[in-house]
A and B are shown apart, each in its own frame.
Chain A
Amino acid sequence: MSTTQVNSICPFCGVGCGIALVASDNNIIAVQPLSKHPVSQGKLCAKGWNTPFGISRHGRLTQPLMKVDGKFKVVSWQHALSHIAKSLKQFIKESGPQSVGLISSARATNEDNYAAQKFARAVLKTNNIDHCARICHSPTVAGLKKTLGSGAMTNSIDDVGKADVILVIGADPTENHAIIGGQIMKAKLSGAKLIVVDPRQTRLAKVADMHLQLKIGTNIALLNGLLNIIFDHGWQNDDFIKRRCEGYDALKAHVADYTVEKVSKITGIKGADLVKTAKLYSQANAAFLAYGMGITQFVSGTNNVIAVSNLALVCGQIGREGTGINPLRGQNNVQGACDMGCLPNVYPDYQSAIDKQVREKFSHAWQTEVALLPGLTSLGMSHQARHGNFRGLLIFGEDPVVTDPDRNKVAQGMRAMDLLVVIELSMTETAKMADIVLPAASFAEKQGTFTNCERRVQLIHKAVAPPGEAKIDWQILSELANKMGMSELMNWQTSEQVFDEMCQLTDSFSSMSYPRLKQNNGLQWPCNKEFPDGSRCLHTTTFPIGKGKLIPVEYELTDEIPSTDYPYWFTTMRLHFHYGCGSMTRKSPLLERETPIGLLFIHPQDALDLGLKNHQGVTVSSRRGCVETRIEISHQVSPGLLSMPYHFKEAPSNFLTNDAMDPITEMPELKVCAVNIIPLPENQTPRSSVLSDVGRSYD
């Protein structure tokens, strides 16, 4: 019984830690950290260490399943794919290519994602391709595209160690990007000043020099207020603004309205702290700004990102070591899924899908007509499904029933579709609702590339064979294309062929290849003729749009605010020990053991006022739905604010969340809504919301 060891990249968050997979008897039995990996340097977080449980063969889907008479039946690949092809062709014929679409997986490889958007555009002739960045960093992609011309993290992870000021807004890196969180704590120990802006008292907030515990949803008021203070004191970087920005006058005039008194009132932050923060950030030699869902997941998400960008540009804290606008991309390959064009409006490398020249380029390269009409986002597809206009959907490695906002609407949309195909590792809640479930290979069972948050494209290697009849995403799409009569289009034999095809059609990846990735421990895009060894730091001399744009944005209220019926603010968060819908991390007995007894985090004062004991059962309800769970008394939240993690299918917080959207990106306002609590009788166990094996909920 000997073991083999293969190097790979952790499948959880966007940090992209090096990890070695130890295999024995075709099972991953252990993982090891890699001391020489440039990002992780011999470290892993609890999720990374528990990878073997996450992808173990136990509980994995191994054969295609089709729902027959309300029950799942094992079918052959031949049968399943033929049925899917036939259905899709029928829908396209009857209702047009707008009636079908794909959701690709932000946790699958670049190759899988490239294949997904090619299948959509070249085979189905639709631009209806999207993925979970929609509900995560789509405002980053849109916002920074407007202000800088590029939506990716501008600096590299190790710039954290080169900053003398670190500003973290709406992110909880020690829990969700643990290795980066650790580096931030280390920088603080080495003398850097740390400022945390968050309505919750996160771990970083505890060690920070300043924690601005702002009222939820008041980011723009805060950021505009900081800008006003900076202009008042002349703390802006005049030289940088002159050389590299435009729109200064308009912005300065606009933020004059955001006086310290006004902003203090809106945000709940003391004037003195606002001034101190403005001074620290603007006067730093190098200030590293990181942000997350606490900036993006709002109806004002895109504007929030623009406000962040304004701050960094005005202070010249970009384009140099130790600085930058650094969105912390969540998933292991959400950066890649965006880069590969799994978005309704762009092709790979963000080439516009409505640009005639781009369409012609891809049409020519792929030797076929490509999609013409603008595409739907994931929420758009769900919306159209509920109205009977969207009929067939393929979802890869995503569990929207648990992770998308307004669960009742999501489920309604799924039920309304004529064909729902889910390609997954295990029977998730979304898979239960599917008509056809196809078994997928995990990251340990294939070769390919992931792109982490610092744009580093890294190779993963196959350590074990996929279980049973499971296949790789791009293989499934290749075979489906074949069934639809377009076999020449996606005729790849290896993932390297897919990668090479993609590189040829983009600029940012044009100098990449598997051998070069291997040699260099990954390469950060853009990696092209101008930057053949990749790019550590973007925008060093110029922005893709030339000068950075300063764009005035207005503070606006969140879509919902507390009222008599729903008197509490409600927000969503993540726990350290679980990931996403929990389909992988909850397979680990060690991580599952860390799950708190109560999932509704509530301030002791609120619990007292309601007469609640710790861990008592309650019903939490919003305008959209309700959920039963136990409370967890905590000082992390402030009075009047409740929060829940979204990892737990027995108490899905998304029954409560609001899908009111950012008009620019259709990002739903996951971070805030209004709820009410009603205690359950003292010894009553909260009712679980887990669906039956075939996707039915029982009332």
Chain B
Amino acid sequence: MTEANNMANKLLINDLDVLKHHIAKFYSVVQIQKDVNGQELWTEQLGDKLDPLFGHNHLPLTSPKGFLFAEKEVLYKFDGETFETILPRVHPKVLFGVQACDLSAIAYQDKFFEHDPYYQKRREHILLVGIDCESPCANGFCVQVDAGPHVKDNTADLVLSRLSVDETNEFSEWLVIAQTEKGINSIKGMMLDKADNKHLKRRRELFEKVRSEFVDYSYISNAIEYLNDNSVPAQLWEELSVRCMGCSGCTNLCPTCSCYSTYEVVEKKTVTPASISNEVKLEVTHSETIRCWDSCLFEGFQKEASGHNPSQKAAQRVERFWFHKFSDEYLPEFQRYGCVGCGRCEQTCPGSIGVHSVMKRIDQQCCN
């Protein structure tokens, strides 16, 4: 906490490339890039050769969630005799240019996976460099769920905020705030000017300006109240859930979703142990237990061995998802809602029941 208040850790830079190249000496660079089709994605693929993309215009459909909570990973192996935990092999990576919403989500997942060795192994090798957004994005409403548009305190190692840009000279002035010890270490050795209070003031002004540009989606704030009031009629969930096709797009793309399942990949191997005899062939079972992302919208998600299913109906599952995203009941544990207002579910849902569609409908139904 004191780090953040210490002016020694608030610096200025004109060229982000210089910063990136410095960090790249110790961290492999993961950043938002455009592929050959103009599709944006978080990728380590191109290294640090290209300029980073950032901001409201470049929120990729997939968040950097997968770099921490892996979409698939081996948890442990069995070789016929013993079980062996397989922790991920990692190298230091910097996620360069993460938007405020995704950083809030990572902070949320840090809490959920606090005791998860696999998540934490990856996490401790990651440097988070956040960037303040300068404008609202297409489906975003981070303001209404306290997840942006500027990077929230204590969600990144370094925070970058563009204070000014002079188009003619391509000259930008960036505020660099080192919020953690890891952050401070990452810029050690760089000769950067110190920022002063007028720079911090400028950042605050920009924050107010960006915030005011957001549409106030009143239906979202209203619907959050109705959800917490339990005033959403069951019939509405029935109506909405007919359109849930169980595609799992929402849970895959949601940066705070953390549910997973495990499965075994079993192989029978025939071995001829020399210690016994060449004629003896033993069949040894090798297996890997793998964790993969799951989705609470699947009917089978909560199905029990007997066939009984507490969330048999789609209406129950859809209601549960929104409860997890907007219920006050999670505040004590996570200090924030599950939803960070990124709007990805709205884009990806083929049934038109993403966050905007659902909250609009709830507001419509309940404000009678």
Q: A and B: partners?
A: yes
- Beyond A2-B45, A182-B350, whether A58 also contacts B265 by CB under 8 A is yes
The verdict on A244 contacting chain B, using a C-beta distance below 8 Å, is: no
Please, how many angstroms separate the alpha-carbon atoms of A58 and B303 in the complex?
26
Chain A residue numbers with a CB within 8 Å of B71 are 29-30
In this assembly, does A207 line the interface, its C-beta being within 8 Å of a C-beta of chain B?
yes
Contacts of A589 in B (CB 8 A): 261, 263, 292
| Chain B minimum-CB-distance residue to A175 | B245
B61 located at the interface, meaning its Cβ lies under 8 Å from any Cβ of chain A in the complex: yes
Q: Which of A587-608 contact B (CB under 8 A)?
A: 589-590, 593-594, 597
Which residues in B have their C-beta under 8 angstroms from that of A35? Answer: 39-40, 61, 347
Q: Is B37 an interface residue (CB 8 A)?
A: yes
- A29 and B72 CA atoms in complex are apart in Å by 7
Our pick among B61, B66, B294 for the contact of A590 (Cβ within 8 Å) is B294
Interchain CA distance A576-B248 in the complex, whole Å: 13
> With A43-B349, A45-B247 given, is the CB distance from A207 to B242 under 8 Å?
yes
Q: Inside 8 A of A577's CB, which chain B residues have their CB?
A: 246
Q: Which chain B positions have C-beta within 8 A of A5?
A: 35, 41, 43, 45
A594 & B299 in contact (Cβ 8 Å cutoff)? yes
Taking A35-B347, A44-B247, A49-B252 as contacts, is the C-beta distance between A521 and B352 under 8 angstroms?
Answer: no
Q: How far is the CB of A36 from chain B (nearest CB, A)?
A: 5
Cβ–Cβ < 8 Å partners of A49 in chain B: 247-249, 252
Q: Would you call A46 and B245 a contact (CB within 8 A)?
A: yes
| A310 CB, min distance to chain B CBs, angstroms | 32
CB distance from B364 to the nearest CB of A (A): 12
Q: How far is the CA of A20 from the CA of B246 in the complex (A)?
A: 20
Question: CA–CA, A44 to B246, complex, Å?
Answer: 11
Q: Is the CB of B352 within 8 A of A590?
A: no
User: Which of A3, A43, A52, A203 interacts with B242 by CB under 8 Å?
Assistant: A203
Among B246, B247, B347, B349, find the residue whose CB has the most chain A CB atoms closer than 10 A: B247
**Nearest CB of chain B from residue A61's CB, rounded to whole Å:** 15
Of all chain B residues, the one with the shortest Cβ separation from A49 is B248
CB atoms of B28 and A594 under 8 A apart: no
The reply to whether B41 and A576 contact each other, CB–CB distance below 8 Å, is no
Shortest C-beta distance, A617 to chain B (Å), equals 14
Contact A178:B43 (CB < 8 A) given known A32-B62, A593-B303 = no
Contact between chains at B242 and A206 (CB < 8 Å): yes
Once the chains bind, are A3 and B43 in contact (CB under 8 Å)? Answer: yes
Cβ–Cβ < 8 Å partners of A337 in chain B:
none
Would A42 and B246 be within 8 Å (CB), given that A2-B45, A34-B39, A593-B298 are in contact? no
A34 near B261 (CB under 8 angstroms)? no
Interface string of B294-334 (1 = CB under 8 A from A): 11001111010001000000000000000000000000000
Other-chain residue from A3, A7, A33, A597 in contact with B61 (beta carbon distance below 8 A): A33
Q: How far is the CA of A30 from the CA of B42 in the complex (A)?
A: 13
Check B66–A7 contact: CB distance below 8 A. Answer: no
- On chain B, the number of residues with a Cβ less than 8 Å from chain A's Cβ atoms is 47
Bound state CA distance, A622 and B40, in angstroms? 54
Check B249 against A590 for contact (C-beta < 8 Å): no
Instruction: Kindly identify, within residues 205 to 242 of chain A, every residue whose CB is under 8 Å from any CB belonging to chain B.
Output: 206-207
Q: Which of B95-149 contact A (CB under 8 A)?
A: none
Q: Does A358 contact B (CB under 8 A)?
A: no
A46 CA / B38 CA spacing, docked (Å): 25
The answer to whether A34 touches B348 (Cβ under 8 A) is no
Q: Does more than half of chain B's interface fall in helix, strand or loop, or is it mixed?
A: loop
Question: In the docked arrangement, what's the CA distance between A444 and B248, Å?
Answer: 22
The answer on a CB contact under 8 Å between B242 and A33 is no
Closest A-chain residue to B62, C-beta based? A32
B22 interfacial by beta-carbon distance below 8 Å: no
Chain B hits for A207, CB < 8 A: 242-243
A178 touches B247 (CB 8 A): yes
B28 — which chain A residues lie within 8 A by C-beta? 2
Docked Cα-Cα span, A34 to B35, in Å, equals 11
A residues in contact with B350, CB < 8 Å: 43, 45, 178-179, 181-183
Smallest CB–CB gap between A208 and chain B, Å? 11
Knowing A206-B242, A594-B300, say if A20 contacts B263 (CB, 8 Å). Answer: no
Q: Are B37 and A43 in contact (CB under 8 A)?
A: no
Residue pair B39, A7 in contact (C-beta under 8 Å): yes
Q: Are B245 and A576 in contact (CB under 8 A)?
A: yes
Closest to A2 in B: B44
What's the least CB distance linking B181 to chain A, in Å?
Answer: 27
Q: Is B348's CB under 8 angstroms from A182's CB?
A: no
Q: How far is it, in angstroms, between the C-alpha of A186 and the C-alpha of B353 when the chains are bound? A: 10
Residues of B within 8 A of A186 (CB): 352
Given contacts A7-B39, A45-B247, A178-B245, contact A590 B348 (CB under 8 A): no
- Within A22-78, which residues are at the interface with B (CB < 8 Å)? 29-30, 32-36, 41-46, 48-49, 52, 58
Compute how far the CA of A521 lies from the CA of B253 in the bound complex, rounded to whole angstroms: 24
User: Please, which residues of chain B bring their CB within 8 A of the CB of A175?
Assistant: 245
Is the beta-carbon distance between A42 and B61 smaller than 8 angstroms? yes
Interface 1/0 per residue, B264-304 and A, CB below 8 Å: 01010000000000000000000000001011001111010
- Answer yes or no: A689 CB below 8 A from chain B CBs: no
Complexed CA–CA distance, A186 and B72 (Å): 33
Is B351 in contact with chain A by the CB < 8 A criterion? yes
Docked complex Cα distance between A576 and B348 (Å): 18
Q: Point out the residues of chain B lying under 8 angstroms from A182, CB to CB.
A: 243, 245, 349-352
- Distance A7 CA – B45 CA, assembled complex (angstroms): 14
* Chain A: minimal CB distance from B303 (Å): 7
Is B25 among interface residues, defined by CB-CB distance under 8 A?
Answer: no
> Chain A residues near B198 (CB, 8 Å)?
none
140-193 of chain A: CB within 8 A of chain B? 174-175, 178-179, 181-183, 185-186, 189
Q: Which residue of B lies closest to A577 (CB)?
A: B246
A-B contact pairs, 28 of them (CB 8 A): A1-B89, A2-B28, A3-B43, A4-B45, A5-B35, A5-B41, A7-B35, A29-B72, A30-B66, A33-B348, A34-B39, A42-B347, A43-B347, A43-B349, A44-B348, A46-B248, A58-B265, A178-B245, A178-B247, A182-B243, A183-B350, A185-B243, A203-B242, A206-B242, A576-B245, A576-B246, A589-B261, A590-B261
The 8 closest A-B pairs by CB, nearest first: A182-B350, A593-B300, A589-B263, A43-B350, A30-B71, A42-B347, A35-B61, A2-B44
On A, residues with C-beta under 8 Å from B are: 1-5, 7, 20, 29-30, 32-36, 41-46, 48-49, 52, 58, 174-175, 178-179, 181-183, 185-186, 189, 203, 206-207, 518, 521, 576-577, 589-590, 593-594, 597, 615
Given contacts A178-B245, A181-B350, A594-B298, 8 further A-B contacts (CB under 8 A): A5-B41, A20-B39, A29-B72, A36-B38, A44-B247, A183-B350, A189-B352, A521-B37
